[in-house]
Structure formats: C-alpha cells, structure tokens
C-alpha cells in the first residue's frame, strides 16, 4: 500500500519557524533554546511564541543582552553534549560576537580533530524593507559563508523556514539559519510533521528554458515577479532558490546555465563583494563554454541601508530592476 501523502496547510512564515523549533525540542531531549526575550515574550518577532510555556523555563530561556555571551553559551554547551538553538535577534549583531563565531564556533571541531562536535543552530534575521535603518537591516551572508566550518542557509518560504530549522538542528555542525523579517507574515503551504529540508540542495522554484535567475531569501519572490514580466520579452526564465549557500548546490545551478545559456544572480546584499560574486565565479569556471552572455548580477548599492521610507525602496533590488538589468545584459 502506498504511503499517504504528507498533509500540508497554509500558515505564516513566522508560525512555520515556531513549528520547526517545536519539532526540534520535542525530538531532542538535550536541545534547548536561548536568546534575548524569547521566553515569556516569545521573541521580538514572535517565532518563539508559547514555546517556553510548553517546554519549560529550563529549556527555553532569556539571556542577558550580550551576543558574545549567547554564542559562547552555544559553543560551550554544544561541546559538552547539548544541542542548542541560539537566537541572534538581528544579523547586524554578528559584529558583536564575530570572534566567537569565526574563531570558536567555526573552528573548534577542526581544532579538536573532530572529537568535539558543535551541533549549534543559530537563528538570525536579515534584510531591509522595514525602515529599521543602517544597523538593523543588513544582509551579511557573505561574512559567514567565508568561514570554513559553518553551514549557512536562507529561508525564502514558510515551508523552508520550518524544514531548514529542523535539518539545521539535526546536523552535527554549526548551522546559521538566516530568516527574513519582511517575510514573517507571508502565507505558504507547509507540510505537517517533522520532515526537514536537505542542507546543500537548491530548489528550482520555476522551471524555464532560456534564462536562469539564481537568488535567495526575499529576492526569490522578486525574481519570480521579474520572470513573469520577462515572458512578454520571450524570455522563459528558470528561477532557482539557492537556499543553501554553504554548502552551495553548484551542480543544480550549473546544470540550469548549461541548458539556458544566460544567467543572472540576484541578492539583497550589497553587490560589491557579495556572495553572488562567488556564484558567478563558479558558473564561469564550470559552464563558461555554455554562456551566450556575461554572468549578470543585481544587488544593493554600495551604501548603508537608508532609514528613510522614501529612499529604502530605491535601495532594495526589486522585480523592475531585475528586468532592466536583463534587458541591458541582452541588449534589448
């Protein structure tokens, strides 16, 4: 008899994160969650809502306002047998704890010859679009993808928000799950149960035949909107959600480029020095002979994120900018 299909239903992105955390705490007795205001308040964004009440104050608790202390707690507890979920309220706050992240979390397993595992899951929020200004709106995935020893994933849908949290917590390596604050209210189909989303595997969210757009996070949705507009130009765009940046699913990206012969990489982070440059380099190394046009990139300008509600929309890439860059790339 065939297995029954996994049921799914539409829930918000924020609720999907909550479900993922609950799955982890239920299946891993040595897991706990720690962060600023995640206990009774349920976290600044609400994705810890009700979890302390259901799992107890010993397993879900508030920390002092010290990102270095939060990451240090994760490193030390993981090295001694726990499986912590630590919450870094804003990705921008990596600057407060980068020594702990870069020199302890990322390196300790290597430096102990594999005898110390660090199954730390770090949740953090990235992205502009909420008028939170220059110190609370950045996308800094390039910082952490550059650190051997870390895995980095970004969730663009409610289903991935749940599934990536679950898979991250099951991994014996430190995994940073980057979430998007502007997607918290987005509704999407989310499977019930405890299935994870594989780390290291991209998602072809829309098949296409003669153009490839690679993106991640919020920009996946702008890329899909751009793809719809590009149809009027005779461009049938394949949209790939990289989803896992470290490790990167280069095979899926390269296979698409070899089919379509044209590619654009879209990310919300500043274009200069962004992770899109690494993706572009891998494409030209592995699919150069298949390219009919140079690899194109769309990203934010080399500027801090503006607070001004009038300026911020001009800073963040959108579907119209993607379409304009495609036209420029193809000489249309």
Q: Is 50 left (phi over 0), alpha (psi -120 to 50) or beta?
A: left
pLDDT in the model for residue 1: 38
From CA 332, how far away is CA 63, in angstroms rounded? 55
**Any residues with CB less than 8 A from the CB of 3 and at least 6 apart, and which?**
none
**Any residues with CB less than 8 A from the CB of 171 and at least 6 apart, and which?**
119, 151, 199
The terminus-to-terminus CA distance of the chain in angstroms comes to 54
CATH T-level assignment (fold) for domain 203-330 = Rossmann fold (3.40.50)
Instruction: Tell me whether domains 9-191 and 203-330 share a fold.
Output: yes
Q: Which residue ranges make up each domain of the chain?
A: 9-191, 203-330
pTM (whole model) above 0.75: yes
From CA 242, how far away is CA 113, in angstroms rounded? 31
Q: Which residues pair with residue 9 across a beta bridge?
A: 190
Residues labelled as active-site residues: 67, 136
For tokens 């499977």, the residue is 191
pLDDT in the model for residue 8: 84
Q: Going residue by residue through the chain (332 aa), what tens digit of pLDDT does each one get?
A: 344 567 889 999 999 999 999 999 999 999 999 999 999 999 999 999 999 999 999 999 999 999 999 999 999 999 999 999 999 999 999 999 999 999 999 999 999 999 999 999 999 999 999 999 999 999 999 999 999 999 999 999 999 999 999 999 999 999 999 999 999 999 999 999 999 999 999 999 999 999 999 999 999 999 999 999 999 999 999 999 999 999 999 999 999 999 999 999 999 999 999 999 999 999 999 999 999 999 999 999 999 999 999 999 999 999 999 999 999 999 88
Q: What is the CATH number of domain 9-191?
A: 3.40.50.970
**Any residues with CB less than 8 A from the CB of 96 and at least 6 apart, and which?**
66, 67, 68
Q: Which of 269, 316, 246 is nearest to 139 (CA)?
A: 269
């Amino acid at each position: 008899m065939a297995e029954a299909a996994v049921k799914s239903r539409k829930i918000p992105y924020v609720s999907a994160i909550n479900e993922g955390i609950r799955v982890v705490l239920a299946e891993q007795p040595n897991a706990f969650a720690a962060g600023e205001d995640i206990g009774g308040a349920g976290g600044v964004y609400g994705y810890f809502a009700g979890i302390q009440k259901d799992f107890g104050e010993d397993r879900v608790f508030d920390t002092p306002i010290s990102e270095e202390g939060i990451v240090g707690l994760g490193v030390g507890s993981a090295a001694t047998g726990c499986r912590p979920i630590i919450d870094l309220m804003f990705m921008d706050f990596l600057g407060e704890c980068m020594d702990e992240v870069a020199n302890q979390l990322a390196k300790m397993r290597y430096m102990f010859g594999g005898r110390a595992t660090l199954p730390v899951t770090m949740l953090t929020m990235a992205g502009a679009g909420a008028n939170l200004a220059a110190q609370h709106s950045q996308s800094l995935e390039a910082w952490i993808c550059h650190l051997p020893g870390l895995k980095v994933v970004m969730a663009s849908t409610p289903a991935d928000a749940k599934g990536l949290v679950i898979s991250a917590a099951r991994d014996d390596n430190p995994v940073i799950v980057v979430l998007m604050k502007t997607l918290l209210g987005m509704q999407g189909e989310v499977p019930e149960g405890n299935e994870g989303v594989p780390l290291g595997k991209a998602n072809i969210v829309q098949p296409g035949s003669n153009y490839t757009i690679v993106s991640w996070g919020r920009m996946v949705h702008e890329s899909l909107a751009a793809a719809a507009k590009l149809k009027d130009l005779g461009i049938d765009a394949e949209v790939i959600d990289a989803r896992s940046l470290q490790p990167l699913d280069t095979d899926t990206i390269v296979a698409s480029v070899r089919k379509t012969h044209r590619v654009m990489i879209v990310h919300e982070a500043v274009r200069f020095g962004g992770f899109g440059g690494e993706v572009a380099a891998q494409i030209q190394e592995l699919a150069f002979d298949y390219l009919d046009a140079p690899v194109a990139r769309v990203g934010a300008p080399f500027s801090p994120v503006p607070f001004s509600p009038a300026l911020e929309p001009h800073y963040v890439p959108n579907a119209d900018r993607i379409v304009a860059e495609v036209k420029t790339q193809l000489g249309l």
